[in-house]
Structure 1
Amino acid sequence: MAFVLLRPTTATVSFPLKLKHPTSKSRKMAIKIINSSSNTTSTGDNGNRKLPILLFDIMDTIVRDPFYHDVPVFFRMPMEELLECKHPTAWIEFEKGLINETELARKFFKDGRDFDLEGLKNCMRRGYSYIEGVEGLLRALKQNNYEMHAFTNYPIWYEMIEDKLKLSTFLSWTFCSCTIGKRKPEPDFYLEVLRHLDVEPASCVFIDDRMRNVEAAEDVGIVGLHFKNADSLRQDLSLLGIDI
């Protein structure tokens, strides 16, 4: 499956103003500052662009992650044993696009044991589902014309997620680690996002269930939100003045 990525038009105004790099300690103050201004639309060569741009982690932020819920059952071992047996870097290499799935199967376990790769993929596919309440939230944001992008650590199997859940209805699969060759929380992955979007960091809001990734976004000036559930995210976005 191929996804065509179109470079967005250039924005010249940050959302809704330039902020100092927010940290987790100063997040409430950042929300207060942002909420004091209205959303800004900037005009580029090809038309209007509504800000802020929303960057979403995928696994356990939008989509249930089968690795933690279903894969230990597939391998018939507790998660602790699975983590001990699997190769320490094979999945990371797969996420960065450095190895393909055949190579992943060869080195997934440290001892090189064989396993049913297609069975694992089917297990993952069955386990993909929207986290409760998130699909409706994405639909509301899409209806309000927000630009949304995936910003996720995931291998080429993101195509299985797309096939099943059609996330491209709401967002673009623009920033996947397997196509960019970088992973969160590597700072250069965040900087690559900003280079591609051609916006000020404070023009972006990043949502992730892992606080480490949120803090890395805040370190480069992106507004970060820690995902807990759809209701709390809806409240956090509203506090930022985002129409839902």
Structure 2
Amino acid sequence: MASLFNPNPPLVSFSSIRPSSFNPSKVVSNFNQTSIITNNTDVIAYTKLFSSSLSMATGRSSAGVDNTSRKLPVLLFDIMDTLVRDPFYDDVPAFFRMPMEELLELKDPTVWIEFEKGLIDEAELEKRFFKDERPIDFEGLKSCMISGYSFLEGIEELLIALKEENYEMHAFTNYPIWYEMIEEKLKISKYLSWTFCSCKNGKRKPDPEFYLEALRHLKVEPANCIFVDDSLLAERRM
């Protein structure tokens, strides 16, 4: 959900794909310089085209590939509202019985970011969720979030197809320890590794160091990474 690029020229340049409204005519041979906007309702139909475009970009195909060598590019996925529905925008306001505008006005503006980065634990999040530190049904809130987690339409089929093509896939997300709740429900680790989460390393997108750390860990050049996100501009508001 977070912004991919720094407003200034970035230190690290990842290729980008946005899963929101796919126009197949926009796919060009130099995939690493193409921003593809995909519609979740079209994901299933265009999965093969997506996979073949990746192969075209790297000069590789599933046929005749030496599977002992690493297949590039490495795919890095944002999670919320990219692969998984984010319950915050609809379910959480309903849980607290207030409109989103009121919720944003009353909640602590920094506590969620601190929780994402692993700087505070659940007890501190519960205490400080609202500015006035009113008591909340914290377990109820967690249950609300769990109930709202689901794959976006067509996404699981896309992940299956990419896994069958032997692409290396990792989460690259600003999300707290609650990623474990997503994993418990959806078993995303069948398809990708929860490698880069803010709660693990204390960094959030668009901090350039988060991207540099990913490159160091993966031992690849930026041109060999494709980052899939739902938005290049929107900042996570929670």
TM over 0.5: yes
**Matching residue within 163, 172, 176 for 2:193:** 172
Whose RCO is larger (CA < 8 A, sep 6+)?
2
Q: Which runs of 5+ in 1 are unaligned?
A: 1-19, 42-46, 215-244
Q: Which residue of 2 aligns with 1:194?
A: 215
CA distance in 2, matches of 1:118, 1:190: 33
TM-score by length of 1: 0.72
Distance in 2 separating the partners of 1:194 and 1:149:
12
Query: Relative to 1, partners in 2 of residues 1:144 and 1:98: Cα closer, same or farther, differing over 3 Å?
Result: same
Using the alignment, how far apart are the partners of 1:119 and 1:158 within structure 2?
17
- Contact between 1:40 and 1:51, CA under 8 Å: does it hold in 2? no
- Aligned position for 2:138: 117
Offset of 1:32 from its aligned partner?
A: 3.7
Distance 2:57 2:140 in 1: 52
1:156 aligns with 2:153: no
Q: What is the Cα deviation at residue 69 of structure 1? A: 1.8
SS in structure 2 opposite 1:145? coil
d(CA) in 2 for partners of 1:130, 1:23: 23
Unpaired segments ≥5 residues, structure 2: 1-11, 17-24, 32-55, 63-67
Identical residues among aligned pairs (%): 66
TM-score, length of structure 2 as denominator length: 0.73
Q: What is the RMSD of the two structures over their aligned residues, measured on CA atoms?
A: 2.7
**Could you tell me how far 1:178 is from its partner in structure 2?**
0.4
Inter-CA distance 37–197: structure 2 relative to 1 (3 Å threshold): closer
Counterpart for residue 149 of structure 2:
128
CA offsets, 1:130-168, max 9 Å, x none?
A: 000000000000011000000001010100000000000
Cα deviation, 1:56-80, whole Å, max 9, x if unaligned, reads 0000000000011200000000001
* Number of residue pairs matched by the alignment: 189
- Please state how far the C-alpha of 1:191 moved relative to its aligned partner: 0.8
Give me the whole-angstrom Cα distance separating, in 2, the residues matched to 1:110 and 1:56. Answer: 32
